[in-house]
């Protein structure tokens, strides 16, 4: 299958045009819309988000990933392989966390180019045809490059920032819950949040943090909107108070 992860949004022609190319070049291959509202223009936040969402997919899946504010510039088009999964998209840090958490990985720079290519829509004209070829088992012209060329070693293993806001106003972070001591509280824009197991464990309107279905720390309000209640947005930072755990 081919899995789409983009910041294109659900409105407008972009997703439809990409899917038209995939159907043209790889007819019959299933296409899954994983996400089209990744943090706009934010490759770093999207890198942590992408890495948290891939475990439900089997090996040999092709991910077509486009969060590409530098489209048409000097960033390289890339194919990354991580534990059998292949990722096609811009080399701008988008695949850093996927690579970091993989046991086996490789990085290739795409050298193939179509006869005609828009300077501003590589998702349709370059990355989609490459993803389609890979999904069919065809070779794509590319060159192996040292892995270090694609890496961002200065990025933290876990990001204490908001990386995604869903339609309910829940705020997903780049911090894995397994790395947070039991009993810790989160300090979010002046609000102190205790941990809960799920929404219904607290009264309506209560703000809290919990381990979401992807294993990340997420801020929520039971039957409410954490974004407006806490005054946060993508990129908002927070801190961890482990004193409660010690007590």
Domain ranges of the chain: 2-150, 159-246
Q: What pLDDT, on a 0 to 100 scale, did the predictor assign at position 111?
A: 98
Q: What's residue 243's pLDDT?
A: 72
pLDDT tens, position by position, 150-171 = 999 999 999 999 999 999 999 9
CA–CA dist 192, 154 (Å, integer): 29
- Average pLDDT across the chain, whole number: 96
Asked whether the domain spanning 159-246 has the same topology as the one spanning 2-150, the reply is no
- Cβ contact 144:124 at 8 Å: no
Tally the C-alpha atoms within 13 A of residue 233's C-alpha that lie toward its C-beta.
3
CA dist 22 and 69 (Å) reads 22
Strands (E), the chain: 2-6, 31-35, 62-66, 77-82, 85-90, 105-110, 142-144, 159-165, 171-176, 185-188, 191-193, 207-211, 216-221, 239-241
Read off the pLDDT band of 247 (50, 70, 90).
Answer: very low
pLDDT at 245: 55
Q: Count CB neighbours of 218 within 10 A.
A: 22
Q: In angstroms, rounded to a whole number, what is the distance separating the alpha carbons of residues 37 and 216?
A: 18
Quote the pLDDT of residue 178: 97
CATH code reported for the domain at 159-246:
2.40.30.90
pLDDT at 19: 98
Residue 244 pLDDT class (50, 70, 90 cuts)? low
Which CATH architecture group holds 2-150?
3-Layer(aba) Sandwich (3.40)
Of 77 and 10, the structure prediction assigns the larger pLDDT to: 77
Q: Is the pLDDT of residue 26 over 60?
A: yes
Percent of the chain clearing pLDDT 70 (strictly above): 98
User: How confident is the model at residue 182, as a pLDDT?
Assistant: 86
Instruction: Say whether pLDDT at 65 is over 50.
Output: yes
Residue 138 has pLDDT above 90, yes or no: yes
């Amino acid at each position: 299958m081919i899995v789409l992860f983009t910041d294109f949004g659900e409105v407008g022609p972009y997703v439809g045009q990409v899917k038209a190319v995939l159907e043209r070049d790889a007819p019959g291959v299933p296409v899954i819309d994983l996400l089209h509202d990744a943090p706009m223009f934010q490759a770093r936040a999207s890198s942590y988000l992408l890495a948290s969402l891939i475990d439900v997919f089997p090996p040999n899946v092709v991910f077509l990933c486009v969060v590409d504010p530098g489209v048409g510039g000097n960033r390289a088009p890339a194919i990354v392989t991580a534990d059998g999964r292949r990722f096609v998209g811009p080399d701008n840090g988008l695949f850093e966390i996927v690579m970091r958490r993989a046991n086996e990985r490789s990085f290739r720079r795409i050298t193939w180019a179509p006869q005609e290519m828009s300077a501003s829509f590589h998702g349709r004209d370059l990355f989609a045809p490459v993803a389609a070829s890979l999904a069919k088992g065809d070779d794509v012209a590319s060159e192996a490059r040292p892995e270090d060329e694609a890496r961002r070693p200065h990025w933290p293993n876990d990001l204490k920032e908001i990386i995604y806001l869903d339609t309910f106003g829940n705020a997903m972070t780049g911090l894995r819950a397994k790395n947070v001591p039991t009993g810790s509280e989160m300090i979010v824009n002046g609000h102190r949040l205790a941990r809960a197991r799920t929404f219904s464990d607290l009264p309506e309107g209560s703000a809290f943090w919990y381990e979401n279905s992807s294993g990340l720390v997420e801020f929520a309000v039971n039957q409410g909107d954490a974004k407006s209640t806490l005054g946060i947005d993508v990129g908002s930072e927070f801190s961890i108070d482990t004193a409660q755990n010690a007590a």
